[in-house]
Structure 1
Amino acid sequence: MPPDATATPPKPSPVAACPAVSVKALCAFGAKVGDLDLRFRPAPSAQEGMAGHSLVQSRRGAGYESEVSLSSICAGLLVRGRADGYDAGRCRVEEIKTFRGNFDVIRGNHRALHWAQAKSYGWMLCERESLDEISVALVYLDLASGEETVLEERWPRDALRADFERLCVTFMAWAEHQDERHRALRHALETLSFPHAEFRPGQRELAQGVYRAAAAGRCLIAQAPTGIGKTVATTWPLLKGWPAHKTSKVFFLTAKTPGRAVALEALGLVGRDCESLRVLELTAREKACEHPGKSCDGEACPLARGFYDRLPDARRNAIATRELGREQLRKIAQAHAVCPYYLAQEMARWSDVIVADYNYYFDSSAFLFALAKEEEWRVAVLVDEAHNLLERARAMYTAPLVAHSFEDAHRIAPAGIKARLASVRREWRALQARQATAYAALDAIPDALQQALQEAVSVIAEHFAAAPKDAHGPLQQFFFDMLYFLRLSDAFAAHSVFEIASDAEAGGDALTIRNLVPAPFLKPRFAASMSTVCFSGTISPFPFYRDVLGLPEDTLELEVGSPFQAHQLSVHITPQISTRFHDRAQSLEALTDLVGAQFERRPGNYLAFFSSFDYLESAHAAFARRWPGVPTWRQSRRMAEPDREAFVARFQPDSKGIGFAVLGGAFGEGVDLPGDRLIGAFIASLGLPQHNAKNEVMRERMQTLFGEGYNYTYLYPGLRKVVQAAGRVIRTERDSGVLYLLDDRFARPEIRRLLPPWWLVESWSCSLTT
């Protein structure tokens, strides 16, 4: 036994018992004033900022201390931070900031925040060193010239203490309110009941899987059928286990706007008896903006003017509201004349469950991911309809440079910038001249191209720094495009390819870093969460998604059995029909007759899915000629939202007809047509992606990385779309319907094994339908 094992445990120190906050967070909460100003100004990177700090610190004398750790207790709050520099001989504390270009672009509201930070450190040093007064200096370093602009003020100890106390008292009053709410929240969640009288079949199994994954601090990939209540089954166990798992936040991430509405409704149900639970919806800036077309600054937008002056009252109003959905936030923002988008961003710090799009956590500059790391939150992440994350993440980590955007930027660029852009154009054209086809993919990005882009970016950044009003329009947009291209070029590896396209058929003239496997980019996101649950009705095979998304090797897997019975869905395959491209014209008559005969036998509402708009249009025209008495409607290219709503509205319990749609499009998932609103579906394709040069590059890469080139590129993504579309037919345990898989390849054993196990598949002879 250790010698002091029986000794009385020491009492916690006062410091340990105090709630803690950083100087940065303290000042951001209480010292921001004036306008919201999001106008673009070229900002130093983190590495440049650190180098700038080191440069300033290296210029100081021998008695100068760098990165001075300081702390102070005030109003029961422990405040900690590191002063950039302290010169004891001159009795001066320094707060160092780096910038580019014109010093005047550092606006007054930013300087007010900088002064608050510097003065906080000034008080801490007065307290530590028993000083009566101290010089407080803001040191602004222009990275382009290396010149320093120093703003210095002499402050007495008592004045610094008064300012510091004001910040601490303001923050502590807010923190005490939050702490009281969190205590009530934990108590309520410990006794949280399931919101329904009983679990649906499969729902308890999913809820248990989510709870166990969170308890073990592991990720989970779960496939669960439509109709069991996946949203309730995933949110309830995380809230129930919140106190035991020491959860800080739950992020519920969706691929599409309707998914957010479903999540908010479920959370309202799950937390209906928990008044302390605060749920926030984050909406894209373009959808939340009250003044489209105006820049986010006080000179242009009335809601940005004086934003930080009115924010405290708006924040207090919002904190009293349990459900901060888009409309509720808008009402609060209107009442206080503040921007609803940035009010929502502020409230992310003070909400418990945040419902948002995937990009808020998984994108390269994701707001929620950055905030969670900064605040060191223990976050549980729910990824709804997670099969969509693969294509969304590929897009997030793909960077195209498009020729027409380049030309638009070049046309309006000043003379000095034109010369640098001309160098980019020369390298671009040289690459195109060396390729023999309209499309080429390379395993490396040429150094000469990267050098030309880097030089163009540097010149444009200097121009924007000197002339901030020019930072808009096509030149700014192409500047951003080049920045992101260069950022991804630094991380270029086997997960991506460099593509050169030089005609309209290949997507127009473009240079693109295209991501094929987002796993390396998403792994840090999964690692940063206490648990991430990726769930969907169609997310198999599990190894495929684990590999390409970068889920941890110890990720748990759960396959929830279907509550539906084989007799509910009559599934037929058609060995006599081929929907391969070269067979479509020949098989069109048999296909349309099968569809018409089924409608004749059992009139009602059906969906017919085809692999492309060309195929859909041909089939629809052929069907209309052969079965003119059957009502039909079809999906069109680039269908507007009202037209999509009208398409779905045609499916009524007392209506009859056939809707023609594209497999994998707007009507292949997320459409709920229970009962007689839909009694059958025809799927005239395996859903395989088009066989072209780009997909062949992906197949080769998938083969190299995973040994599953064809399956990972074509088969698994294609059959997922088939199963999703088929899932429109049976939505509840009372539904019944018919499904036709219109291609002979569905009869192959390796294909049959990938279809849902509860389907009882039968062959169907086309001769029986004519």
Structure 2
Amino acid sequence: MTNQPEIKLSVRNLVEFMLRSGNIDSKFISNASALEGTRAHQKVQKDNQDKGYTAEVSLKYNLAYEGFYFLIEGRADGIITTDTGVVVDEIKSTSQSLSDIDEDYSQTHWAQAKCYAFIYTIQNELPEIGVQLTYFQRESDEIKQFLKVFTQTELTTFFYDLINQYLVWASLTSDWVTKRNAAIRALDFPFESYRRGQRELAVAVYKTITEHKKLFVQAPTGIGKTMSTLFPAIKSMAEGHTAKIFYLTAKTIVREVAEEAFAKMADQGLAFKSVTLTAKDKICFQEETICDPDYCDYARGHFDRVNPAILDLLEQENRLTRPIIEDYAHKHQVCPFEFSLDLTLWCDCVICDYNYVFDPRVYLKRFFTDNGGDYTFLIDEAHNLVDRARSMFSAELYKKPFLELKRLFKDTDPGIAKALGKINSHMIGLRKLAETDQHYRQPEAPKDFLPLLLKFINLAEAWLVKNEGNESHKQLLELYFNALTFMRTAEFYDDRYLTYVENANGDTKIKLFCLDPSHLLGEAIKRGRAAIFFSATLSPLNYFAEILGGDPDSYKISLPSPFDVKNRELLIADTISTTFRNREKTYPAIATCIKAILEQQSGNYLAYFPSYKYMNAVFEIFTETYPEIITIRQSPEMNEADRELFLNQFRPKPGTTQVGMLGFGVLGGIFSEGVDLKHEGLIGAIIVGVGLPQICFERDIIRDYFNEKNNAGYEYSYLYPGMNKVLQAAGRVIRTETDRGVIVLIDERFGSLSYRQLFPREWFPHRRIRTEAELKKGLQDFWAMPEPQI
């Protein structure tokens, strides 16, 4: 052990970071490495196993240098030992023609191999060694090799030159860690006192991180979940329990809350670097996201400028929000998206969407490829991760694109056309299997289908490399990526999946559907050391702990609301049935009920419905019957600007009197969660129906799967997801300790035991109402109570 600052680096990361140069280029580069790269390595290694070839040789080299202790590690593809000497072999698979590859094709390939050769010569006291690059052409299985011999002295000079270049970054890291840890140790909780439940949550988070476990938390609105999870995670970092925090969310507004928490702690003296990742399409400076140096000035020469840009920003800023990243990207003429990804390596916390950790197609491979690291995952609004995970781990293909491209390539590339034709023919067979009820399902993966896709992928890849700019390129590229995603998803296929075929909308779809994402989420969580799943509506906890990848050692806590229950009135109108077959009969009664609620206290209300159809029908009756009430309704086409316009109707305007607004929205929609309308912004929520997802084929097969697994299929597929929507909508009303408001649940099912046992503790006591008179009396009694004194 050494007192010198430790710098741990992989050979690959060291080489690629220090030697990168040139442009970001969207010209097609093979993406099939996960499928074919391993095969290429294995084939080369197997073909040479009788020739003194040792495959996959782990190499590590530690050195104390210039005040640092470097831990350098990597894995050589092969070490060849013969009577004439030793050769380090570096294998690179490619879809390019080998005639396009010469000895100087890639300096980073040589550099990586030379670093491995340096370590091997030092450890084995060799005066010289051969360094070989082996290029494997995936389509033809042909090989092209280049061999150079280097002395140990030459390799030592090369290696230390790289390390010398890296010293500025090592110093930056070391100095920052010293400063950061001192600031963390001096940091006090950034509020005068803890709210009810807040200290308990913070202690549980700290314990989970130090023990490298998982924690599932139901923490109602008002506890301060963001600060209660970030503060202990940050404290644990100074004590060496975690190296990096990932704060994961599903919504931009939640990421902004995390940014505000860091700003609050910075005001208290915290020195801590956080970076917020924004989707490429949103942060791109161009009208169209085309990463091509001929189209984009920020792509041209990006890698020549990006390292100075990183250094400049890190020396000046700590909270790397989207505006900050954009400012420095403009200043240094670099791509803001790729710039932000690089910044994650140097920051203490990464604020980002779930997919950067969990989605196998886009997760941050710079952190998670080699078994992950000492990371803590803070997963906010974790109830959203269930359906997101099913989507991430599923894949689907449609028949029509294959037929269209077959016709397109019939005359220009008969080989691709033939491959597309075979896939189309196979899907015609699948279509026939689904003719009875428009669906066909099977527990096994479509084994006969996958080889056809792989053949198409290989042919398409070769064509895409050679035909950049061709008018068919974009269309083929899209189908190529979809097919590649399907093949990669098939690698995860097990008894938690189901394959189904659906005939709908004049097309045939085949889908690899992840019924139960728990295993793959659990595997993804292993990329870090600790994970905290938290939400105001993580109920029932046992269900979420199971479906989100928990294990028997996981911790689970459910915290009480910090707000006085007297500040809200919960009324249950369980004499109205809103089941699908009864809905048309309820339109006038629902409109009358809403009007009665509004009459007892003027102000802003939101009424939530299980579907747009139901909402629109009641909206039409209500506005026709009560035209004097100011109303607004949600529409399915709303963009971010429309959403803001909608919410602004509820926000008090300075210098004006709040008249009152009634909004119509849908359960599970953009206004039923993640909306923070405090004080008079919202004084009531009227929830029509129990939020059940629409009955559909996918929900039914999820139900069937869990019926067989634990006899809780209906609960897992319909009841729990539906009730979660209700809880989220109800949570819009009381946002602070001074807020007052009413929640009215309209549906006879809310009176049943199966629903009442899902009510959170803060929903007790509540009042069941049978008549309009009882509704009015309950509301009048509540609004007549004096306002709370704080």
TM-score between both structures, scaled by the size of structure 1? 0.92
Asked if 1 retains the 8 angstrom alpha-carbon contact of 2:187 and 2:270, the reply is no
Tell me the amino acid that sits aligned with residue 579 of structure 1.
T
Asked if 2 retains the 8 angstrom alpha-carbon contact of 1:286 and 1:292, the reply is no
Q: State the partner residue of 2:109.
A: 114
Tell me the amino acid that sits aligned with residue 32 of structure 1.
R
Match of 1:306 among 301, 304, 313: 301
Q: State the partner residue of 1:463.
A: 463
Distance 1:86 1:70 in 2: 18
Asked if 2 retains the 8 angstrom alpha-carbon contact of 1:71 and 1:78, the reply is yes
Asked if 1 retains the 8 angstrom alpha-carbon contact of 2:209 and 2:241, the reply is no
Q: What pairs up with 1:5-20 in 2 under 5 angstroms?
A: 19-20=7-8
Q: Count matched residues.
A: 756
Q: State the partner residue of 1:346.
A: 342
Distance 1:62 1:603 in 2: 86
How large is the RMSD of aligned CA atoms in angstroms?
2.8
Asked if 1 retains the 8 angstrom alpha-carbon contact of 2:40 and 2:93, the reply is yes
Q: State the partner residue of 2:769.
A: 764
Distance 2:522 2:208 in 1: 17
- Cα distance 1:524–1:592, how it changes in 2: closer, same or farther (>3 A)? same
The percent of aligned pairs where both chains have the same amino acid is 32
Distance 1:767 1:556 in 2: 45
Q: State the partner residue of 1:39.
A: 27
Once structures 1 and 2 are overlaid, which stretch shifts more, 230-239 or 122-131?
122-131
Tell me the amino acid that sits aligned with residue 515 of structure 1.
C
Deviations 1:707-754 (A, max 9, x none): 201111111111111111111111111111222111111111221121
3-state SS of paired residue (2:762): coil
- Cα distance 1:729–1:91, how it changes in 2: closer, same or farther (>3 A)? closer
Q: What pairs up with 1:601-640 in 2 under 5 angstroms?
A: 601-640=600-639
Deviations 1:199-251 (A, max 9, x none): 12221121111111112221100011112211011100111122335311000
Distance 1:109 1:233 in 2: 54
Tell me the amino acid that sits aligned with residue 394 of structure 2.
T
The CA deviation at 1:545 is 0.9
Q: Does 2:53 correspond to 1:85?
A: no
Q: Does 2:696 correspond to 1:695?
A: no
Q: State the partner residue of 2:91.
A: 96
Once structures 1 and 2 are overlaid, which stretch shifts more, 541-550 or 249-258?
541-550
Asked if 1 retains the 8 angstrom alpha-carbon contact of 2:445 and 2:490, the reply is yes
The CA deviation at 1:66 is 5.3
Distance 1:677 1:712 in 2: 34
Distance 1:265 1:104 in 2: 55
Q: State the partner residue of 2:444.
A: 444
Once structures 1 and 2 are overlaid, which stretch shifts more, 297-306 or 121-130?
121-130
Q: State the partner residue of 1:163.
A: 158
The CA deviation at 1:497 is 2.1
The CA deviation at 1:602 is 1.6
Q: State the partner residue of 2:489.
A: 488
Q: Does 2:405 correspond to 1:409?
A: yes
Tell me the amino acid that sits aligned with residue 481 of structure 2.
F
Distance 1:514 1:147 in 2: 37
Q: Does 2:584 correspond to 1:592?
A: no
Q: State the partner residue of 2:480.
A: 479
Q: What pairs up with 1:123-142 in 2 under 5 angstroms?
A: 123-124=118-119, 127=122, 135-142=130-137
Distance 1:173 1:408 in 2: 54
Q: State the partner residue of 2:568.
A: 569
Q: State the partner residue of 1:755.
A: 759
Asked if 2 retains the 8 angstrom alpha-carbon contact of 1:574 and 1:742, the reply is yes
Asked if 1 retains the 8 angstrom alpha-carbon contact of 2:281 and 2:289, the reply is no
3-state SS of paired residue (1:463): helix
The CA deviation at 1:298 is 3.5
Q: State the partner residue of 2:331.
A: 335
Asked if 2 retains the 8 angstrom alpha-carbon contact of 1:232 and 1:270, the reply is no
Tell me the amino acid that sits aligned with residue 767 of structure 2.
E
The CA deviation at 1:72 is 6.8
Deviations 1:404-447 (A, max 9, x none): 44344334333321221111111111122133012333323443
- Cα distance 1:61–1:571, how it changes in 2: closer, same or farther (>3 A)? closer
3-state SS of paired residue (2:539): coil
Distance 2:154 2:451 in 1: 52
Q: State the partner residue of 2:787.
A: none
Distance 2:341 2:736 in 1: 38
- Cα distance 1:467–1:104, how it changes in 2: closer, same or farther (>3 A)? farther
3-state SS of paired residue (2:239): helix
3-state SS of paired residue (1:374): coil
Match of 2:18 among 24, 30, 40: 30
Tell me the amino acid that sits aligned with residue 582 of structure 1.
R
Q: State the partner residue of 1:503.
A: 504
Tell me the amino acid that sits aligned with residue 389 of structure 1.
L
Asked if 2 retains the 8 angstrom alpha-carbon contact of 1:526 and 1:551, the reply is no
Q: Does 2:671 correspond to 1:670?
A: no
Deviations 1:552-605 (A, max 9, x none): 221111111012233211111123211112212222222211111221222221
Once structures 1 and 2 are overlaid, which stretch shifts more, 98-107 or 548-557?
98-107
Match of 1:681 among 685, 700, 713: 685
The CA deviation at 1:369 is 6.1
Distance 2:550 2:600 in 1: 48
Q: Does 2:581 correspond to 1:582?
A: yes
Once structures 1 and 2 are overlaid, which stretch shifts more, 741-750 or 154-163?
154-163
Match of 1:661 among 665, 668, 690: 665
Q: State the partner residue of 2:723.
A: 719
Q: What pairs up with 1:85-484 in 2 under 5 angstroms?
A: 85-86=79-80, 89=84, 92-103=87-98, 111-124=106-119, 127=122, 135-153=130-148, 155=150, 158-274=153-269, 276-293=271-288, 295-320=290-315, 321-368=317-364, 371-372=367-368, 374=370, 376-413=372-409, 414-435=413-434, 436-467=436-467, 472-484=473-485
Distance 1:106 1:396 in 2: 36
Tell me the amino acid that sits aligned with residue 205 of structure 2.
V
Tell me the amino acid that sits aligned with residue 646 of structure 2.
F
Once structures 1 and 2 are overlaid, which stretch shifts more, 662-671 or 86-95?
86-95
Asked if 2 retains the 8 angstrom alpha-carbon contact of 1:570 and 1:737, the reply is yes
3-state SS of paired residue (1:388): helix
Asked if 2 retains the 8 angstrom alpha-carbon contact of 1:282 and 1:355, the reply is yes
- Cα distance 1:271–1:706, how it changes in 2: closer, same or farther (>3 A)? farther
Asked if 1 retains the 8 angstrom alpha-carbon contact of 2:210 and 2:241, the reply is no
3-state SS of paired residue (2:448): helix
3-state SS of paired residue (1:21): strand
Q: State the partner residue of 1:49.
A: 37
Distance 2:30 2:620 in 1: 55
Tell me the amino acid that sits aligned with residue 27 of structure 2.
R
Asked if 1 retains the 8 angstrom alpha-carbon contact of 2:136 and 2:143, the reply is yes
Asked if 2 retains the 8 angstrom alpha-carbon contact of 1:702 and 1:709, the reply is yes
Asked if 1 retains the 8 angstrom alpha-carbon contact of 2:276 and 2:352, the reply is yes
Deviations 1:656-696 (A, max 9, x none): 12111111101101111122221112111110112233322
Tell me the amino acid that sits aligned with residue 41 of structure 1.
I
- Cα distance 1:461–1:188, how it changes in 2: closer, same or farther (>3 A)? same
- Cα distance 1:227–1:405, how it changes in 2: closer, same or farther (>3 A)? farther
Distance 2:5 2:598 in 1: 73
Once structures 1 and 2 are overlaid, which stretch shifts more, 335-344 or 159-168?
159-168
Once structures 1 and 2 are overlaid, which stretch shifts more, 591-600 or 113-122?
113-122
Distance 1:657 1:455 in 2: 59
Once structures 1 and 2 are overlaid, which stretch shifts more, 283-292 or 424-433?
283-292
Tell me the amino acid that sits aligned with residue 232 of structure 2.
P
Tell me the amino acid that sits aligned with residue 29 of structure 2.
R
Deviations 1:602-659 (A, max 9, x none): 2221111111010001000111222222111111122222222111111134131211
Once structures 1 and 2 are overlaid, which stretch shifts more, 73-82 or 471-480?
73-82
Q: State the partner residue of 1:6.
A: none
- Note the residue ranges of structure 2 that are not aligned, 5 or more in a row: 653-657, 777-790
Deviations 1:360-418 (A, max 9, x none): 00111343365145385211110010000001111111211124443443343333212
Deviations 1:314-347 (A, max 9, x none): 1211221211111111111221111111111112
Distance 2:225 2:572 in 1: 30
Asked if 2 retains the 8 angstrom alpha-carbon contact of 1:75 and 1:165, the reply is no
Once structures 1 and 2 are overlaid, which stretch shifts more, 449-458 or 674-683?
449-458
Deviations 1:148-206 (A, max 9, x none): 32334455655443332211111133213312221222222223210111112221121
Q: State the partner residue of 2:779.
A: none
